[in-house]
A = this chain, B = another copy of it.
Amino acid sequence: MATKEPSFIERTRRAQLIDVTIDAVARHGYAKVSLARIADNAGITKAAVLYHFRTKDAVVEAAYRFVLDALVEDVAVAVEAVDVQERPQAYVRAMLGHLRAHRGHTRMLIERLGNIAPEHTPEQRWRPLADLIDASVRARGTDGVDSRTLAIITGGAIDAIVTERLHDSEYDSAAAGESLTTMLDAAMG
């Protein structure tokens, strides 16, 4: 039972709305994005926006999804390009690199990741990295490593580095990433 194919206008409008929403969040922050602002920047009325999305949150969620998918895709490619032992470090570098390359996406991602969305458990955030860590330590022959904690620590550290760079564009997030990978490497034995 395939759902109805969306029309051309439908897809165009949704893409446009996602685009202006990402922009609005980058400019004014997650909390201050109003439906009116999104509608205004898209050149339509509030109700017209709510025709294409059920609620305002759905618009923002879609924009977040878009940005997140780009990140996940990018990181996945980078991670798979290297040897199993080096994947956790590649994860860190790819994450920071992607956000440096897509500065407009940064604020959206960090402000959302910080918040607690009912439907996204924190596990979804650390599980992928924890799996990479498990595989890496297995390949190294080390053991006794708590991959969950290591992934949580590393993820939090990445957030903090990115946040710092968002406020100070002179901050060298690549160098910070190297410090982090070094610490991670040592912790994995």
Contact = CB atoms under 8 A, between A and B. Distances in A.
Contacts of A166: 116
Interface string A156-177: 1111110110111000000110
Where chain A touches its partner, the secondary structure class is helix
A78 B180 CA distance: 27
21 contacts: A114-B115, A116-B166, A122-B163, A122-B167, A150-B179, A152-B160, A152-B161, A152-B164, A152-B176, A153-B157, A153-B176, A153-B179, A153-B183, A156-B158, A156-B160, A157-B160, A159-B159, A182-B187, A183-B183, A183-B187, A186-B186
Interface of A: 29, 31, 110-111, 114-116, 121-122, 126, 146, 149-150, 152-161, 163-164, 166-168, 175-176, 179-180, 182-183, 186-187
Contacts of A155: 160
A42 B28 CA distance: 32
A28 to B, nearest CB: 11
Contact of A160 (B153, B161, B167, B176): B153
Copies in the complex: 2
Give the top 3 A-B pairs by smallest Cβ distance, nearest first: A156-B160, A114-B114, A156-B156
A154 to B, nearest CB: 8
A158 B116 CA distance: 16
A121 B166 CA distance: 11
A122 B125 CA distance: 23
A37 B110 CA distance: 28
Contacts of A150: 179
A160 B129 CA distance: 14
A175 B159 contact: no
A110 B159 CA distance: 13
